[in-house]
Amino acid sequence: MIIKTEKLTRQFGSFTAVDAISFSVSEGEIFGFLGANGAGKTTAMKMLCGLLLPTSGTASVAGFDVYTQSEKIKLNIGYMSQKFSLFTDLTVWENIEFYAGIYKMKPKRIKVHGAKLLQELELEQQKRRLIGTLPLGIRQKLAFSIAIIHEPRVVFLDEPTGGVDPITRRRFWEMIYDASARGITVFVTTHYMDEAEYCDRVSMMVDGSIMGLDSPARLKAQFDSKTMYDVFLKLARKAV
């Protein structure tokens, strides 16, 4: 198990943002982490990334404990969010160099992997262009490729496709599948229920707890729904 949590809890004062969640993710899996705004997704993700200490419970990522080995976790994960897609005032290549550099990649390796990345995205000609001059869709794909340039064992994607058109989203998911095929575990939060269908397994978070966790097909059967959208509505309503 590459990610494993046991009764993981985080409180802010008297408010419990994450309430004793237990789940595990296996290597290479695409794990959808769903929930309404304020359900506790971001808090849970921050704990797994080593940004936030849990109040109680246990969790390990890539075999390292979130309490004591957050530095080792950081070296083995990648992160990308919708909000941040690269530094707009830096060029494509400078962004690659920066991201790979802060993940302690050697200059030689940066050159090789960076060139391969540009080739895959057909961006060789745009190497020296400022990110700000590229369309959003290309930026998002580039951001994802850069987030996994250091070949992390897990990549955390925080609503990676927000504001992107359906075709780009589709291509983006193809890239996620590729990464997963290469053995990189993908931990993804999303608001789009059609995207939930693409995941191997999905967890539904409501008010800090996980209310459902299974493959999309089984979840639909369990909640007697045709789509993941209905599953989500049923669970969210139950909470109210």
Partner 1 sequence: MKHFKIFVWKEFLHIWRDKKTLMIIILLPIIEVLLFGFVLTSEINNVSLGIKDLDNSLWSKNLILKFHNSEYFQVRMLHSAPEVENALQSNSIKAVLEIKPDAERKMRAGESGIIQLLLDASDPNIARTIEVYVNNIMASSLPRAQPAQSYLSIIPLMYYNQELKSVFKSVPGLMAVVLMLICAMMTSVSLAREKETGSMNVLLISPLKPWHIVIGKMIPYMAISIVNILMITALSYFVFGVPIRGSLLLFFFFSILYVISALSFGLLISTIVQTQQIAMMISLAGLMLPTTLLSGLIYPIRNMPGWLQRFSGIFPARWFVEILSHIMLKDSPVSYYLQPAGIILLITLILLVIATKRFKLRYD
Pick from 13, 68, 83, 108: which binds partner 1 (CB under 8 A)?
A: 83
- Give 156's contacts (C-beta < 8 A, 6+ positions apart): 45, 48, 49, 77, 78, 79, 80, 187, 188
Smallest separation, CB 41 to partner 1 (Å): 14
Q: How far apart are CA 97 and CA 41, in angstroms?
A: 30
Site of tokens 């083995």: 76
Cβ count near 58 (within 10 Å): 14
Residue list 12-41, contact with partner 1 (CB under 8 A): none
Should residue 159 be labelled a site residue for partner 1 when binding is judged by CB under 8 A?
A: no
Stretch touching partner 1 by CB under 8 A, among 8-16, 27-35, 45-53, 167-175? 45-53
> Is residue 127 helix, strand or coil?
coil
CB nearer to partner 1: give 117 or 219: 117
- Site residue total, partner 1 (CB under 8 A): 27
Residue from 18, 44, 49, 231 touching partner 1 (CB under 8 A): that is 49
Choosing from 36, 62, 90, 236, the residue that interacts with partner 1 (CB under 8 A) is 90
Q: Looking at the DSSP assignment, which residues form a beta bridge with residue 78? A: 155
Neighbour tally for 78: CB within 10 Å: 23
Instruction: Return residues touching partner 1 (CB under 8 A).
Output: 49-53, 71, 74-75, 77, 79-81, 83-84, 87, 89-90, 94, 97-99, 101-104, 130, 156
